[in-house]
Amino acid sequence: MAARRLTEAGMTVLERNWRCGRVGEIDIVARDGDVLVVCEVKTRRSGTFQHPMEAVTAAKASRLRDLAERWLSRHGGAPPGGVRIDLVGVLLPTRGAPRVEHARGVA
């Protein structure tokens, strides 16, 4: 659902679930024009304590920036437009269709 939302927004998904050893994982790497987008995806059920869009803490943002640098070093460096970190939150209600939200530049 998250990759589909980004594609519908005009982005090109380059990789999904890119792992970097024990450092961590980037859920989605995409291109938005000349910008590289590192996208964190969080899914929550309705009624849980935390909304998915609240999931990127300062520590998580720092780890995502580190992972983005590692991805860039292995794939030829930063594009002309730089790098942006986005968040896609998926909320799964008890009934009805999931709600997908996309926040740009969260960290």
The verdict on domain 2-103 having CATH code 3.40.1350.10 is: yes
Instruction: Count Cβ atoms below 10 Å from residue 57 Cβ, excluding itself.
Output: 10
pLDDT tens figures, 81-93? 999 999 998 888 8
What is the residue extent of each domain of the chain?
A: 2-103
Cα separation, 63 vs 61, whole angstroms = 5
Cα separation, 66 vs 25, whole angstroms = 11
Cα separation, 6 vs 102, whole angstroms = 8
Greater pLDDT, 51 or 97:
97
Mean pLDDT of 45-63: 75
**The whole model's pTM is what?**
0.88
